[in-house]
Each structure stands twice: as structure tokens, then as C-alpha cells.
Amino acid sequence: MKTKKIFYLFLITSLLITSCSSDDDSNNSGEISQPGNYFPSSLNNYWNFNVVNTDNDTNESTVSTDSLYVASETGTIFSLGVNDNMVANGTMDSFLTNGNLTPTENNLIFNGTLELPPEISNLVDFEINLSNVVLYDTEAALGAELSSNSNTIEQDFNGIPITINYELTTNELGFSESMSLNGEVYSNVITSDIKLNLIVTAIINVGGIPLTIAILESQDALSITNYYAQDIGLVRSESGSSYEISAAAITAFEAAGIDIGVPTSGSGSNVQELTDYFIAE
């Protein structure tokens, strides 16, 4: 009997030790912790992309290409160019070429401006000045907010003063050991996103009574998901842009006899995938 008790005690102890060891190896911290260079910035490095732009309202797509390259570097700061200083077809390429980039040991920081895609600029068109936008962080926790830029802008919309509140945030989404694109496998890929939230309000005179109306209730008007491969750079970017004017605003405009002048909603998507590249040794 004593021998059996000793055996059962040994068995339970072994199971507990095994369970604890398994938990330690699973890394429940949620941190990526994948050091490395995820956007090589040597002068003349280039990345060629296949770009598909889709109007979600008509389901019509256009296919084009972008050539993104390091145009200049000064100390730790570098800037990118695209298509020999012509217009970028990829949403993320357009973003990256409208400012400067600063790599650090763990992240990549953008300072510059954001131009709104056509789906949004048809409704409200303004330039967003951005500072210290963290595009990725190799040591951030999964799901962590990396940076935030916000501001309030006063503007005119069809003769009506409007107030635009925006917030642009970047977030860490995950890590993959490999990713296959166009027949090539990329190792160690970090995923992050950029989100632009808009709230647009206006004071509309209806029957002599001024009413504050939300033209755009809080909505993510632009969302970009990016994939960065170690020692390569950006390999894929998926963006979506949309807006929807609130039903209350549509009713108020009609009651005031005001022609909105734009569709009450719009939506588009843009996907760019790396086809070939050159990275200096």
C-alpha cells in the first residue's frame, strides 16, 4: 500500500512539473520580440509592387504598378520616392513618400502628411500633419497601440461651416514566421495597421432653427494593414477607405433645401504586393 501511495505522489508531481514547464515555453506575454531590420534604408534600394485598386460601389478594378525607392538619406533619416516622382498608385506608397522615415533599433517612425484617398476627399478634403507615427515596433505587445495623432479642423462644406475631428492611430497586429507572395516566401513578417477615425459635424439652419448635426458619425474612414519582412521591407499592404453620411444629416440637408453635392456613401480598396526588389548589401 505504501508503495502505491509513493507511486501516485510521484506521478502527480511529474504532471505538475510538466504542466509548469509547458506554460513557461508558451510565452504568454504576447510580445513579438523579433529584432531586426524590417525596412532597409540604403540609398537606391527599391521595391516594385503590383497594385489593384477597386471601387467597391461598382466592383470595377484597375491594375497598375509602383516602383518605390530610397531617394535620399541623411544620417538616420531617409525619404522615399515613387515612379520617378510621379503619382503613387498604392495607398501606402503614397503615404510613405509624403514625409521622412527614421529607423531605430526597434521601430520605424514617420513624420509628414497624409493625403486622403479620393473616396474621402470627395466629401472632406484636408491635409493631415503627422508627427512621430510609429509604423511598427519589434518589441511591442500584440494589439498594442503604437502611436496616436489627433486634431480638430474647421472647414466649409457647400457654404456650411463644419468641424472635423480626426484621430490617426497605429497598432501592432502580429508576427508570422513566413509569408508566401507571388511564388516567394518571406521570413519573419511583422503586421501592423494605420487607422484614421473621422467625426464631422455641422450647424444647419432648418426653419430658422440652428441644429448641430453629425454629418459623419465616428467611423474609420481609412484603414491600412501592412506586412514588413525582415531584411526586405514592405511586402504587402491592404487598405480600405469609406464614408457614410448619417441619415440625420441627409434629412436635415433635405429640410434645409441644401444639395449635398456628393454621394451619401463611398467605398474603395487598394492592395499592393511586392513583385521584386533590390536591397544593397
pLDDT at position 179: 94
Average per-residue pLDDT for the chain: 87
How would residue 120 be classed by pLDDT, with cut points 50, 70 and 90?
A: confident
pLDDT band with cut points at 50, 70 and 90 for residue 262: confident
pLDDT grade for 32, boundaries at 50, 70 and 90: low
- Give the mean model confidence (pLDDT) for residues 252-281: 90
Chain segment 133-172, per-residue pLDDT in tens: 999 999 999 999 999 999 999 988 878 889 999 999 999 9
> In the prediction, which pLDDT does 158 show?
77
Residue 10 has pLDDT above 80, yes or no: no
How would residue 31 be classed by pLDDT, with cut points 50, 70 and 90?
low
Q: Are strands 184-206 and 107-114 parallel, antiparallel or unpaired?
A: unpaired
Lowest mean pLDDT across 6-10, 111-115, 250-254: 6-10
Domain residue ranges of the chain, discontinuous segments joined by +: 40-276
Query: What would the 3-class secondary structure string for the chain be?
Result: CHHHHHHHHHHHHHHHHHHHHHHHHCCCCCECCCCCCCCCCCCCCEEEEEEEEEECCCCEEEEEEEEEEEEEEECCEEEEEEHHHCCCCCHHHHHHCCEEEEECCCEEEEEEEECCCHHHHCCCCCCEEEEEEEEEECCCECCCEEEEEEEEEEEEECCEEEEEEEEEEEEEEEEEEEEEECCEEEEEEEEEEEEEEEEEEEEEEECCEEEEEEEEEEEEEEEEEEEEECCCEEEEEEEEEEEECCHHHHHHHHHCCCCCCCCCEEEEEEEEEEEEEECCC
Whether 245 shows a pLDDT value over 60: the answer reads yes
pLDDT of 187 over the 90 cut: yes
Q: What is the pLDDT of residue 3?
A: 40
